[in-house]
């Protein structure tokens, strides 16, 4: 018996699981820290912090969604193998197909709701870390290039990299632009 519809449905669920897991990996990376990671976003605390690092918020909701995704991917393999194992017009493995498909749907639905309600709805931006990252970015010279020239922009970038100082600080120190102009050019809205 052809179980192609089950295989196709499982494939769609697997695709959703892969994308959801990838998004959770991004959340885990963007929230990593508090000092050594990116720390660009804050995930809501769901349980007591790390057992080895007091004060750290573990990304437990994205991690549980990752695990559900792994399960859905595994169920897809089970469904694929069970569908392939049929002979002529008979497939004795439909029970495991339906069990795995039901499990994937149920767990994926619960994972999506949990992620939305207990994680995504409480995400905040770590504005201090983001501001520091922008202020220390060598990429700022790109916005200044048309105003200070390529050579000066290159020199500023090299010095900022070598010294660890900020681009804006060096531009002001060297008198390449007035403070008001520099502030206007580096506004995020521009």
| Residues recognised as catalytic | 50
Residues 6+ apart with CB under 8 A from 122: 43, 44
Angle at 70 between CA 100 and CA 61, to 5 degrees: 115
Q: Check residue 175 and give left, alpha or beta (phi > 0: left; psi -120 to 50: alpha).
A: left
Angle at 70 between CA 66 and CA 73, to 5 degrees: 135
* Closest to 137 in 3D by CA, of 96, 159, 171, 167: 167
User: Residue 90's beta-bridge partner residues?
Assistant: 87
Output DSSP code: residue 80.
H
């Amino acid at each position: 018996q052809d179980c192609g519809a089950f295989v196709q449905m499982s494939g769609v669920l697997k695709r959703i699981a892969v994308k959801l897991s990838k998004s959770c990996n991004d959340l885990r990376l963007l929230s990593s820290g508090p000092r050594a990671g990116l720390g660009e976003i804050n995930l809501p605390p769901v349980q007591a912090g790390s057992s080895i690092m007091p004060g750290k918020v573990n990304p437990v909701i994205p991690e549980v969604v990752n695990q559900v995704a792994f399960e859905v991917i595994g169920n897809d393999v089970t469904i694929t193998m069970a569908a392939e194992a049929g002979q002529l017009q008979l497939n004795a493995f439909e029970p495991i197909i339906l069990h795995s498909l039901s499990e994937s749907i149920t767990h994926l639905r619960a994972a999506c709701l949990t992620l939305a309600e207990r994680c995504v709805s409480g995400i905040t931006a770590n504005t201090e870390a983001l501001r520091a990252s922008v202020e220390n970015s060598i990429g700022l010279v790109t916005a200044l290039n048309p105003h200070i020239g390529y050579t000066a922009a290159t020199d500023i970038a090299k010095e900022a990299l070598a010294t660890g100082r900020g681009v804006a600080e060096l531009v002001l120190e060297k008198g390449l632009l007035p403070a008001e102009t520099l502030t206007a050019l580096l506004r995020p809205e521009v």
